Amino acid sequence: MARVGLEADRFTCCVRPRRRQQQLSNIRFRKGLVYYSRRQLERTKQAVQKIEPAIEAAVQTQGQVVLCASNWVVVKDCEHSFDPFIFALFRFTVAALAFSPFLKKALTSKLIRRGGLELGFWMALGYLTQAQGLITTDASRASFISTFTVLVVPMLAGASGKAHVKPLTYFSALMTLLGVALLVEKGGAFNPTQGDAWSLASAIFFGVQVFRTEIISRRLNKNAVLPLMAAALTTVAGTSLVAAAVTHPQAVQNLLALPAQVHAMVQGGIPWWQIMYTGLMSTDAVLMIEVVALHDVSSTDAAIIYTMEPVLGAGLAYVVLGERWGSLGWVGAALIIASSLAAQIVGTEEAVVPEPEPKPKQLKTGRR
């Protein structure tokens, strides 16, 4: 009996540690599974949080495209009865006044002040050359020529080292210029106007502005958006005043010297609803959306969305202004859109920053 009891004790001593080890293994497995699940859930949550701002920014950019497309028709319609430079002066003065309460904060920050001056400079060049171009060209043609902006952006990104520009991008630029040539063709002859050249220059200036907006906006936090806009729009308004003074010195001098003339102009003769719409909507709202959206979306991705602007602009010009093209014009428009999309989708890729090579380990020789 004693021997049997001894064997039973040995069996119990062997089994209990095994069960204990198995229980500990099960506990560790469950803890590991819970930890892994929580970690994967946290990673998924972080990924969703990164995607949501990008989707929201893309939707905002679509709204910006609609406002920009309507801008072509409104500005073109006003230029039949109102000087474009005086219109620009009123438009951007209204736009700047809307954000004037934030100008004080912009002036206290060197980074915001310099960024606003730079963006305002490129914006002013883009808007003023756009207004000059619409004097002698159709709104629909000008809107399609503006698509050249989406080719300027990746080229600048490539030149700055931010992205690698493939040969397809340069080929797309040539195809876009060919599309512009077909667009300005009339009666079987190449018939470009000064307005077409101004519109092309406007597209280049806006391309620089979009590229620089992405860089500047990502240096600042989102709380600096309103001061940045105030500085940029004040710069545009000041540039518009200079342009109006250069083109119509006597008219500006009379307005500043005779306040009664200003009162008479306010009473009638000024397209106020167009000024308010272009100043508050197609300027203020567009710039705000652009600065906020480019904080989460790259300028090259935003340029793909901008490609739809000329399509909407041409459609509105067709309905509102009654503008019509020939068959070659439609071929040129399609070529512009196809080239721009091809350049944006497969023409560029993000630059890859090479990892630094590890330093070779020094062998210890025992000497000091």
Specify whether the CB–CB gap between 300 and 126 falls below 8 A. Answer: no
Q: What pTM did the predictor assign? A: 0.67
26: part of which helix (H) or strand (E)? Answer: helix 2-78
CA distance 307 to 227: 29
pLDDT tier at 358 (50, 70, 90 boundaries)?
very low
| pLDDT at residue 96, rounded to an integer | 94
Tell whether the model's pLDDT for residue 138 goes beyond 70. yes
Residue listed under structure tokens 């009996």: 1
Contact predicate 83/248, CB 8 Å: yes
Residue 337's φ and ψ, nearest 5 degrees, are: -65, -45
Q: How many residues does the chain have?
A: 368
* pLDDT at residue 333 greater than cutoff 80: no
- 24-28, 41-45, 101-105, 155-159 — which is least confidently predicted? 41-45
Which amino acid, one-letter code, is at 116? Answer: G
How far is residue 264's CA from residue 168's CA, in Å, rounded to a whole number? Answer: 56
Question: C-alpha angle with apex 197: 196 to 200, nearest 5 degrees?
Answer: 90
The one-character DSSP state at 224 is G
- pLDDT tens column, 270-284: 888 889 999 998 888
Buried b / exposed e over 230-247, threshold 16 CB at 10 Å, is: bbbbbbbbbbbbebbbee
214 touches 142 (CB < 8 A): no
Residue pair 333/159 in contact by the 8 Å Cβ criterion: no
For the chain, state the CA radius of gyration.
Answer: 31
